[in-house]
Structure 1
Amino acid sequence: MPEQDTPSPLSLKERLALVYQRLDQMPPPTTAQEAFDRLNTVLEEVEDEYSGVPKNPNPGLKFDGRMYPPREDFTEYTADGRILAVTKGNTIEALPDGTLTISSRKTGQPVYQRKGAGQSLTLDNEAGLEIQNPTIAKAFEAVRQAQQGMVPPGTRAHGRSQAPAPRRNLDTPHRSKDRGPEL
């Protein structure tokens, strides 16, 4: 009896393209939750099929070769019906009408966008949007600034000055190495 062929792992770029392709083949979502759930489901299906890395039920922040849906602690449901999420490289915004936008945190440019089919609402992108989670707020503000050309592409606006960090004196023990005498 011949063994069933398992597909060989695809690169991260190829897997992302497959996620976006599968999302485009589905009917347009009608709500933010539907758009967000579809993204997460399709992402997990593609990773199960093509990453070659078993799913970790409790993934940490370190990349293990597999993409995971946004963590709950990096996802926010806003009062106006949006779902905002931050991943290592992207921000995700699902609007109440099902429109889904995934933007690069590095450049601020959308890497995927799909219009929803739900009832269109007029949303003011700036006024009235209160993001409670500071990590999410910073990431979305950095993307907004990059989109408006306020920050050069490839740099992140995190409230840090552009001055280089002071050099550490190499003669002074580094905290992580200075743990006291070995017993």
Structure 2
Amino acid sequence: MTSDAMAELRLRDSPTTEHIDFDSLDGYRFADGEGFPASYRAFVRHAGWGRTFGLWLFYPPVRPGYADGLHGRGAQLTRRFRASFRDGESEAYDWMVKPDGDWSLTATLEVFAWSENGDALLWNSAARDTDGEFPVWESRGLGSLHYLGADLRTALVLVRDRCTSISGPRPFDVEPLPATRL
């Protein structure tokens, strides 16, 4: 995807954004004192809340009283991911992190997108690059770990290609979904 990759994503309808907390999108700070990666902010601003490539749900920060937010659902899925990998480490299932990762990496990965197949996209919030981007990883079924790229733009190409190879081309990349109240 090009530097304006997020704008290239085709939406079926206008994006669902009324529940997105744009103050948090711009003002949230990670442990390193920096905010969300520019690629993620661009994705949320362009795509809003919806199903991407027919399968993936990217969690934005949401206003109080709404479901499917990064800090709510994303944090819950992050805890689930880490518990699965703690169990895998205790059982010495090294295949879960090979060949791309290691056990210590799992403590710094955070879920920001979830597929309807039970796979997760995670970023490594402890490895920000000089452009402010986080490396992106995928965990298939919370039982494996695969490096997808240095940023969301790079990872989206791989995710789109795999989804297209499974279900064929789609007339749009993002299907906006209605905001859900808690």
Which structure has more relative contact order (CA 8 Å, sep 6+)? It is 2
Which one has a bigger Cα radius of gyration?
1
Q: TM-score, normalised by structure 2?
A: 0.31
